Structure 1
């Protein structure tokens, strides 16, 4: 993976970025992206050959305009040798879905928010249709629905590369969940959005232990 999306509501991720750079044995280069001109300048920079691994840090990627992000997307689709990206945002749902789908998500626990544990998310994703219906029937609040789907995306990203045979299945799961996030963000009916997600992933197991 050459692109990482670090999620933290407080955007306090400095130490995690430093740890990531050490893990990649890469030097760090901060390059904020807000306007399309910023992306063009970045593209000019990375056309140069990098002799050593470099982690390019784009903080608050959720504040970048759509035009800038669409221009930036090519860097994620066609990665350059020795180039890595660390993007930061307060929430997955605030980032363009096409960006999210091309990054490894790193969710960093904040002291002021509750994060559902992986066991609960895994149980939900691996449940049968009836179990899923019972689960989502209790969710009426939009923010709770978004939290469920957001954590499902993060969990699925974490299992994406565990089984090469199931990779396509997992990628489809992620796409379904991201579409649900988009619908919820656009004020779509909470129960309808969750039900549509349930229908589309009901036969897709995470297989995290297989």
Structure 2
């Protein structure tokens, strides 16, 4: 989904519990009276920072509260997982606004619970996908595989010696980024319609589900 002006972020965020806004790094995003979460140590947002914010908003809210996280892709893995837990028990008065120029670096498990909005003039589509040519080719095969071909593609992914789960998650991550870029470039909703299945597959594999069965079940 696209938005035209940064000023629209407030109204969009007000209607959602969690929203990811893709904007260039040099674009200023401000929300009046928002709790702001930015990197403090080693250029990352730490789990301690996330826990501190969660503590502030854990009580029942009587008015709308906004939490602005930028760059959202700088959350450490531990911080992202802590943030993810807060999304499992949503508060209708709390609105998380995640701002980034690299949505593919945000956990797909977070993206699956958020609306994703692109500023129409962003250069996101011009950024290169960070992956080897082999991995990109395999991700593309996964994207276009017909049900009758899916098992063979997943078998190819699972041939990776050592770290099959991590490799499967990497291929799914690349596929998810390809879907975002394809949608941004073409504005064809076909790509967005595929996203939920791939996000769900990533989430299920991340939860230690059976790699092969989870991918096939989600993508069939």
TM tier, shorter chain?
0.5 to 0.7
Deviation at 1:110, TM superposition (A): 3.2
TM-score, structure 2 length as denominator? 0.51
Task: Report the 3-state secondary structure (helix = DSSP H, G, I; strand = E; otherwise coil) of the residue aligned with 1:85.
Answer: strand
CA contact (8 A) 1:7 1:92 kept: yes
Q: Could you list the per-position Cα deviations for residues 39-82 of structure 1 after superposition, in whole angstroms to 9, with x for gaps in the alignment?
A: 11112101122211112111101111000111111121211231
1:32 to 13, 26, 38: 38
Change (3 A) 1:42 1:111: closer
Gaps of 5+ in 1: 22-26, 116-126, 130-143, 161-168, 180-196, 204-210
Deviation at 1:146, TM superposition (A): 7.4
Question: What stretches of structure 1 move > 3 A for 4+ residues in a row?
Answer: 110-115, 144-148, 151-160, 173-176
Gaps of 5+ in 2: 1-15, 40-44, 127-143, 147-173, 204-214
Q: Distance in 2 between matches of 1:158 and 1:48?
A: 39
TM-score, structure 1 length as denominator? 0.53
What value does the CA root-mean-square deviation take over the aligned residues? Answer: 4.4
Q: Could you list the per-position Cα deviations for residues 143-175 of structure 1 after superposition, in whole angstroms to 9, with x for gaps in the alignment?
A: x98764223577769967xxxxxxxx8732543
